[in-house]
Structure formats: C-alpha cells, structure tokens
Amino acid sequence: MKRSLALFTALTLSGCLTSMPSSAPSTEATPTKSTAKSSDDSKSAKNEPPKERQPLKRVVGYFPDWTHNRKGTCKYTVDEIDPMLFTHLNFAFARVDGGDRAHPTFKLAPFDTTDLGADGQYAKFVALKKKNPKLKTLLSVGGWTHSDPPYDWIFSAMAETPEGRKQFIDSAIKYLRDNGFDGLDLDWEYPSEPTRGGRAIDTKNYIKLLSEVHAAFENEKLGPGKEKLLFTVAAPSGVYIKWYDLPKMHASLDWINLMSYDYSGGWAHASGHNAPNPELGGGVAASVSIYKNFGVPPDKIVVGMGTYGHTFAGVEESKPGAPSTGNGPKQRCTEEPGLVAYFEAKELIDAGKIKPMWDETAHVPYAYDEKGKVWYSYDDVKSFNQKLDFIQDQGLGGAMIWEVDTDDFHHGYPLISECTKRLAR
C-alpha cells in the first residue's frame, strides 16, 4: 500500500474519471442541504433525542512484514499484534511472481522468505485467530514497491489476458488455502498509471480481473469447515482515482479499503496535513463523497486511518501551508525521511521538543519544532474520534488502519483502541 500520493485538486480530478455519471462529482465534501424552518420547527428539533449511532462495522489493520527487521524497542513482529483490537487483519505484502517476462507465468510468492514455513510470519499471523476466533486474516498482494522495477510490468501483463488472470487466480486460491488465510486484498498501485508501470488497457482489464476473482471465490468447492474467501482492494483517495471505473468495480468486492491519507507530504514543498478532514475542501470527507457519487455503497467504503504522519524540513513558521524544502529528518524507529510514527511524535511532544497545535478547520493536530524548523503532521486520539464519528454518521463500512506498528504499541495502541471501542459487542 505504501502511501499513495493524494494531491487533491478540482483541476486534476475534473473530467478525467471513467464511467462519468450525469454530473462529475465534486472534490469537496457534499454540504448538508438546509431549508428555512419556523421557530416551532426549531423547538421540535431541539426536543428530539439525538440519532443513535450504529456500531462501527469493522476495524481492518495492515501488518507490514518488514518491521521485524527494526532493532531494539523499535522492532515489531506478529507477536506484538493485539488481535482483539481488530475484526480483520491484512498481511502486507505478498507479490505476484511473473517468471520470465518473455514467457510469463503468474503466481503468488512472498516478498520475504521468512514469511514461509511452520515458524514463518504467515503461520504466526493466521494463528492470531486462536486468540480471537472471530478474527479474519487476509493476504494483501502488491503495495507501492510492487509497481517499482523490477516488478512494475507484472500486474498489467497478468491482467491483460484470460490465461494470465486464470493463472493468478488459481495460484491465489491455492496459496491462500495452503497458508490459512481467509481472503485476498489486492493492492495494485495503480492500473493505467504510466509512472507506475501502467498502460491504458489496465482500467478495463482491472475490472475483468476483479470480476473473475469474485466468480472464482464464489464457485470454489468448499471443504468441511471452510468459508468463502473474502475479496477486497486498497484504492486511492486522490489523483489516481481517474484510472478506476468505480461504478463497475464495487460489485465484485466485499469492501474497498480507501487510502484516505497522504494528502500532503514532503513532495508538496509546503507544510500540510497527512489526513485532513474538513467539512469542505480536500480531505477524507471529500474522498468518500467521490466514491459515493460514483455509486459505491457506503457500507463498502472502509475509511483509511493513518497512525503515522509526515514531516517537513526548512519550515520557517508554524502555520500550515508554509514553504518547505522537502522531507523532514529520519525518526528514531521508522528511519524514513519525511515519515513519523504516532508514537515517535508523542515522544517528541512529551519531551518538549515539538509544540503540538490543533487546526480547527482540518480537524487534525500538527506540531512544530521552532529550533529545527521541522513541521509535523499526524493524527491523535481527538482527530481519530472525529473521523470515527464521521464514519458512523455516514453509515460507512468501518475503519482501516495503516499501519498497526506505528501506533503506540508499547502503551496499549491508543489510536486503534478508539476504533475498537465502537464495535458492536
């Protein structure tokens, strides 16, 4: 999944999405319609009890398989996961092995060989269901690096022909069953996008692929105690939406994991929020509106919640939107320029090294290091709860966590726990 670039502008999105409805969806959140009311109507409305929110439908967490390579207290393995916090857990990632490009064959394979075997990460991951019998585990295939060389040609080539799609699907079913997973999460970033190995034919072929995976899962002969495999995708929140035929894709899926984060980062050359959620303008609500306007049922939209943020270097003032020279410095554990885990931001705040602030319009926190001229975007308990209110009020399909290791896992997962509290009991 590795974080999608989401530069949300009307100019980019207008008129470039496939299967356009009668009017193009706005990139701003749809405002609530209002009509003039008499004073009696207002009194009546005030006397009405507040509408009771329905419980959160699901909490989906992504576990990245590379975090076991971190050192010391930064190391994060399957053993650190609390399975009681989730309804579904996605193992990120597996890859598609294309074999010889001149004569390709398509089958699932691990990115990391430590995933395999009786003591491998797959086995430990699916064993979490022993602690939480209601938990479902899915295998996520793809991610950002799967569209980098040398893998960038594989998804497009696989989806191009009926033979390639069948090879992948047959391999996927066997691989999932052999390793004890309950479903497949497809994370192709992104079909038809020329900078990511895509070709124009991918948009239609992607729909064919989804439809054929769905049909194969529906028609699989199930042995005793087996359930139908789940099928989901990770999908973008920004400019890459233009490559997706949203009205046709959702019918094949149990739900869509909406990557509603990375609205800004070091690439933007100005400080900005990772996952803003204003009533109007670019952000989480606007992304959800686009999917709904293209006919995606609300209960199939699972909203991405980032337990990480972005940092910006060379920022001379604390307010959002100030010029930046690029990514901020590497942090203690994540060790990636421009990236900060929630627990890393919290450590810096608690140590008095950065000053936390709140953006009343975007409904998210941010922080500033005046000495180092570094600006921090992130989410906290308050912003998580406001987004969860939105998810429940809109009747959406739940919350998706990218990624489980960047919450404060040494202190009870304070962000993810807010999601869990809202599940039906």
Enzyme catalytic residues? 189
Nearest-angstrom CA–CA distance, 136 and 209: 23
Nearest-angstrom CA–CA distance, 339 and 309: 6
SS3 of 51-91: the string is CCCCCECCEEEEEECCHHHCCHHHCCCHHHCCHHHCCEEEE
For 408, phi then psi, to 5°, come to: -80, 80
Evaluate whether 79 touches 409 at the Cβ level (below 8 Å): no
Is the C-alpha dihedral spanning 91, 93, 98, 99 positive or negative? negative
Nearest-angstrom CA–CA distance, 121 and 116: 7
Return the C-alpha torsion angle 344, 346, 347, 353, nearest 10: 110
Can you read off the two tokens belonging to residue 354? Answer: 């950065």
Evaluate whether 191 touches 155 at the Cβ level (below 8 Å): yes
Nearest-angstrom CA–CA distance, 150 and 286: 35
